[in-house]
Structure 1
Amino acid sequence: MSDPSAPVSSAPASTSARRAWIAVLARTPRADLEAALQRALNGAPLPAYDWLRPPETGLAMVRGRVGGSGDAFNLGEATVTRATLRLRGTGAGQPGDDQPGADAPVGVACHLGRDRRRAELAALADALLQLPQHHPHLHEQLIEPLAARIEAAREARRQDTADTRVEFFTMVRGD
């Protein structure tokens, strides 16, 4: 998965940019995602959408590598939740946008855990970020703050780990 701290392009068409914002959405807790999405939409109701694949929970095999680069092996299974939806109309949330259009974006989400609402919100945010009229505002109000929060938590974990590092050395005894 892409590094959420990497700079994300503000152009909605880039595959790497979409991969980066999906990674940010997948790592964001539901409460933070819900609050940030409501702030970004300025309290407006969520746009109408149709489920292509409602949130469903299942297992995914987690693979590891010996020494990080050696032979792959099955480490175990992890619970994941995924969802796919299509915005109705243009997704602008205006009256008359009740019918799904051919150009309506499809939002996807997949994350570790069993939280169906979190998958719904992430898929909705992904679909809205694909719309040129919503992308710049949502990117600035939703993705950038969440990515900064994820990076701050990662840096705090790095610092905590560095604080517990022990360096061993050997003293040579004189003859």
Structure 2
Amino acid sequence: MIDVEDGRRRAAGLLARATVQELLSGWDALDNKPDVEKVRGPETGLVMVRGKIGGGGAPFNLGEATVTRATVKLSSGTIGHAHALGTGRKHAWYAAILDALWQEDATRSIIEDRVLAPVAQRLSERKAQKQQETAATRVDFFTMVRGED
């Protein structure tokens, strides 16, 4: 059983990192596409990115990032939200729809299997590849003890 709050947080994160093609393939996989009403957006704006520095983790403003957000309402009344880095209006729109569909019991397994699992697999493979590339450049330093001069 998926804990709905943690599961939705995970789903929103994966939808934000999905490609538009991955989102569209999930939408196309639905036999009965629901009617979707626009509540807000998609609209693009800026958010402040904060970082931490030093041993104590003092916060500082790193800079601004462009983010696109959307909110939709399905014919069933379920509301979906999405945020995506960049100016991808289509990305935010379909991610919001799929977020709403994930919340409904009837379509959650389709979204999990057709969208979220492939995205998680792709991200996992990319992470493993980066770890291999990083490991290939690893240098082990050691100290040789010299005899007394």
Mark yes or no: TM-score above 0.5.
yes
Deviation at residue 71 of structure 1 after TM alignment: 0.6
The structure in which a higher percent of residues are strand is: 2
| Identity over aligned pairs, percent | 43
Where in structure 1 are there 5+ consecutive unaligned residues?
A: 1-8, 91-103
Contact preservation (8 Å) 1:10, 1:135: no
Deviation at residue 163 of structure 1 after TM alignment: 1.6
The 1:139–1:10 alpha-carbon spacing in structure 2 relative to 1, beyond 3 Å, is farther
Contact preservation (8 Å) 1:28, 1:150: no
- The residue number in structure 2 matching 1:18 is 8
Deviation at residue 174 of structure 1 after TM alignment: 1.5
**Counterpart AA for 2:119:** L
Q: CA RMSD in A?
A: 1.9
- The residue number in structure 2 matching 1:51 is 38
- The residue number in structure 2 matching 1:127 is 100
**Counterpart AA for 1:61:** M
The structure in which a higher percent of residues are helix is: 2
**Counterpart AA for 2:13:** A
- The residue number in structure 2 matching 1:112 is 85
Name the count of aligned residue pairs: 148
2:39 & 2:139 partners in 1: Cα distance? Answer: 52
1:152 aligns with 2:125: yes
Deviation at residue 76 of structure 1 after TM alignment: 0.8
Aligned residue runs from structure 1 range 1-175, under 5 A: 9-10=1-2, 14-38=4-28, 40-41=29-30, 44=31, 46-67=33-54, 70-88=57-75, 90=76, 104-175=77-148
Q: TM-score, normalised by structure 2?
A: 0.89
- The residue number in structure 2 matching 1:4 is none
Deviations 1:6-41 (A, max 9, x none): xxx546xx1111000111101111122212332x31
The 1:165–1:110 alpha-carbon spacing in structure 2 relative to 1, beyond 3 Å, is same
Structure 2 counterpart SS, 1:167: coil
**Counterpart AA for 2:36:** Y
**Counterpart AA for 2:45:** G
Where in structure 2 are there 5+ consecutive unaligned residues?
A: none
Deviation at residue 125 of structure 1 after TM alignment: 0.3
Structure 2 counterpart SS, 1:86: strand
1:116 & 1:132 partners in 2: Cα distance? Answer: 27
Q: TM-score, normalised by structure 1?
A: 0.77
The 1:134–1:36 alpha-carbon spacing in structure 2 relative to 1, beyond 3 Å, is closer
